[in-house]
Amino acid sequence: MTGTMARIAWPLGFGILVLILWEAAVRGFDIPPAILPAPTEIWDAIQRSTHILWIDWVQTVVKGALTGLILGAIAGVLAALAIDRVDFLRRGLLPVANFVAALPIVGVAPIMVMWFGFDWQSKAAVVVVMVFFPMLVNTLAGLEATDRMQRDLMRTYSASHAQTLGKLRLPAAMPFIFNGLKIATTLALIGAIVAEYFGSPTKGMGFRISTEVGRLGIDMVWAEIAVSAITGTALYGLVALIERRVTFWHPSQRRG
Amino acid sequence: MTEPVISASDLSLTFQTGDGPVHALKDVSLDIAKGDFVSFIGPSGCGKTTFLRCMADLEHPTAGTITVNGVTPEAARKARAYGYVFQAAGLYPWRTIGGNIRLPLEIMGYDKADQSARVKRVLELVDLAGFEKKYPWQLSGGMQQRASIARALAFDADILLMDEPFGALDEIVRDHLNEQLLALWAKTEKTIAFVTHSIPEAVYLSTKIVVMSPRPGRITDVIDSPLPRERPLEIRDTPEFLEIAHRVREGLKAGHSYD
């Protein structure tokens, strides 16, 4: 128990220290709020605008980022399974996916807005594009992660392709798939927020940040940043938690 | 005379490598009778593992013929005629010991009740009762290897192919497992092909010892052991035992003098 407590206490204490120094610096040097608001001012803004922040959060995180993340992750894993099975796809689809991954998000986002409209659907589409490739590549690497003896064993049982996949290669690929998922989680949030810069209804975290910057409502910008940072950390933590459950057997996760 | 379980004649396997062809096996002929315990012994590169892998259809000979249970190795593999024990235990870490032993049973479509009964039976056979719920990494190397033998015994294959299963274990554990293996063999009446590079292990276990030598991989001597089937560990101090061991050693030496 003391181990867990210490693991939480150290970063928490350090974070609080940073906040105190930040507050002291803003007050001591008299920094104008337009440049850097104090943590207490940001906290005020969060309390003042909880309702708006909530609406923005649902719009960007739940509808844009999470929908895109789930769809993109499933698509990435399915594409990896298809590429693994069909050599023609490995030679054809993989380079194309590589190419798509190199497209800049600031180019993709306006196109998706034109295709799927201003609402969250276009944001989810941007997230799908961003998330697809890391999921694909990591799953493919995971499917290759079995050693010859493990595959020979399945061969001596005369196991079918599906049996080898389900009982050996997919379980062995899980640590890799979760690595991809952790990368994808971070990308999804960034993608959903940035995509809103290129057209959105009058809600959403990216929309709010870009308009409040124009109105010099810097405390509100920081409030959105705080919400997105907490959301990102929580999502990452959630994925890590599920990972621990699923890949408990992996040397990096084993305890005792 | 009854039909041999495994029969190879003029079997050759040549690997094409960057440095030219490597003759892993050349003109190897051998019959293994039902219920035999045959050991293959020789230095690295003599083709003993390759020969075993040919029996298992994990490697494909480039010349000659080999039959397992009277059919091709591929047909025998598809009929699940043999259990294979590898050099390392190779248990899947996400499955418990019981789950690992259940793996071939699931693949071969045994029903649930039968699976559980078989897992229980083979765990007792290899002295691992009570470890069903443990994960492989929680067990010692010797216990893991016993679990992998249990996995090969769980389904009804008459042939057991073992590729240096105890090579990575220390002497004492090895002695113990050798004794257990002989008891298992007596109980199950399986035909066993066993690759090793330990002379005492080969002599202690086998009814037939096949001495092999490298470049090209070939058989230099086949020794039918006069030892009785019932063998306490002390048999290793008898003159008969030492005499066979001596002949094996001479055979290995002769093989080496070619290079």
- pLDDT value of residue B228: 87
- Does the distance separating the beta carbons of A158 and B77 come in below 8 Å? yes
Query: Which CATH architecture fits B1-81+159-259?
Result: 3-Layer(aba) Sandwich (3.40)
Show residues of chain B in contact with A159, CB under 8 Å.
Answer: 107
Q: What is the predicted ipTM?
A: 0.89
Please indicate if any CB of chain A lies within 8 Å of the CB of B183.
Answer: no
- pLDDT value of residue B256: 67
Q: How far apart are CA B94 and CA A168, in angstroms?
A: 10
Query: A155 in a domain, yes or no?
Result: yes
Query: A36 in a domain, yes or no?
Result: no
Regions of chain B where pLDDT drops below 50: 259
Residue B226 burial by Cβ neighbours in a 10 Å radius (0-12, 13-18, 19+)? exposed
- Does the distance separating the beta carbons of B94 and A153 come in below 8 Å? no
Regions of chain A where pLDDT drops below 70: 1-2, 256
Q: Which residues, at least 6 apart from B157, have a Cβ–Cβ distance to it below 8 Å?
A: B80, B81, B82, B83, B190
Query: A196 in a domain, yes or no?
Result: yes
* DSSP letters for B19-85: TEEEEEEEEEEEEE-TT-EEEEE-STTSSHHHHHHHHTTSS--SEEEEEETTB-HHHHHHTT-EEEE
Q: How far apart are CA A68 and CA A189, in angstroms?
A: 10
Query: A66 in a domain, yes or no?
Result: no
Chain B nearest-CA distance from A253, in A, is 12
Q: How far apart are CA A67 and CA A192, in angstroms?
A: 10
Number of folded domains in chain A?
A: 1
Beta-sheet pairing, B159-163 with B191-196? parallel
Residue-wise burial string across B177-189, b where 16 or more C-beta atoms lie within 10 A, e elsewhere:
bbeebbebbeeee
Residue found under tokens 């004492």: B172
Q: How far apart are CA B122 and CA B124, in angstroms?
A: 5
- pLDDT value of residue B61: 92
Query: A106 in a domain, yes or no?
Result: yes
- Does the distance separating the beta carbons of B78 and A153 come in below 8 Å? no
Q: How far apart are CA B252 and CA B213, in angstroms?
A: 7
pLDDT tens string A56-81: 999 999 999 999 999 999 999 999 99
Q: How far apart are CA A171 and CA A137, in angstroms?
A: 16
- Does the distance separating the beta carbons of B83 and A155 come in below 8 Å? no
Query: A57 in a domain, yes or no?
Result: no
- Is the link from the previous residue into B200 a cis peptide, with omega within 30 of 0? no
Query: A80 in a domain, yes or no?
Result: yes
Instruction: Give the range of the structural domain holding residue A240, as residue numbers without chain letter.
Output: 72-246
Q: How far apart are CA A23 and CA A41, in angstroms?
A: 9
Please indicate if any CB of chain A lies within 8 Å of the CB of B71.
Answer: no
Please indicate if any CB of chain A lies within 8 Å of the CB of B106.
Answer: yes
In chain B, where the domains are located: 1-81+159-259, 89-156
How many CB atoms lie under 10 A from the CB of residue B37?
22
Helix A218-246 with A170-195: angle, nearest 10 deg: 170
- Does the distance separating the beta carbons of A159 and B77 come in below 8 Å? no
User: Which residue is closest to B155 within chain A, CA to CA?
Assistant: A157
Query: A139 in a domain, yes or no?
Result: yes
- Does the distance separating the beta carbons of A158 and B78 come in below 8 Å? yes
Q: Would you call B162 helix, strand, or coil by DSSP?
A: strand
How many CB atoms lie under 10 A from the CB of residue A87?
9
Closest CA to B72 of B81, A152, B25: B81
User: Which residue is closest to A173 within chain B, CA to CA?
Assistant: B94
User: Which CATH number is A180's domain given?
Assistant: 1.10.3720.10
Are the C-beta atoms of residues B14 and B21 closer than 8 Å to each other? yes
- pLDDT value of residue A168: 95
Q: How far apart are CA A95 and CA B60, in angstroms?
A: 34
Chain A interface, best mutation among B84, B102, B148, B163, by max A CB count within 10 A: B84
- pLDDT value of residue A2: 62
- pLDDT value of residue A252: 85
How many CB atoms lie under 10 A from the CB of residue B43?
14
